[in-house]
Amino acid sequence: MAKSNHGARWTRQDFTVVSKLVREGVPSSKIAKALGRTLASLYMKASSEGISLAPAKQRPDKRKTPRMKKKTKKASKA
**Looking at the domain assignment, is residue 70 inside a domain?**
no
**Model pLDDT, residue 60:** 54
Note whether residue 35 is domain-resident: yes
What does the pLDDT read at residue 75?
67
3-state secondary structure of 61: helix
Model confidence at 42: pLDDT above 90: yes
Number of domains the chain is built from: 1
pTM above 0.75, yes or no: no
Residue 61 in any domain: the answer is no
What is the distance, to the nearest Å, from the Cα of residue 25 to the centroid of all Cα atoms in its chain?
7
Rg of the Cα atoms in the chain: 22
Note whether residue 22 is domain-resident: yes
DSSP 58: P
Averaging pLDDT over each range in 2-6, 18-22, 60-64, which range is the top one?
Answer: 18-22
pLDDT, residue 56, reads 63
Q: Give the DSSP letter string of 1-56.
A: -PPP-TTPPP-HHHHHHHHHHHHHT--HHHHHHHHT--HHHHHHHHHHHT---PPP
Model confidence pLDDT, tens digit, residues 14-23: 999 998 998 8
Q: Is residue 34 part of a domain?
A: yes
Does 10 reside within a domain? no
Evaluate whether residue 2 is within a structural domain. no
Which domain, by its residues, includes 24?
Answer: 16-55
Assess if residue 62 is contained within a domain: no
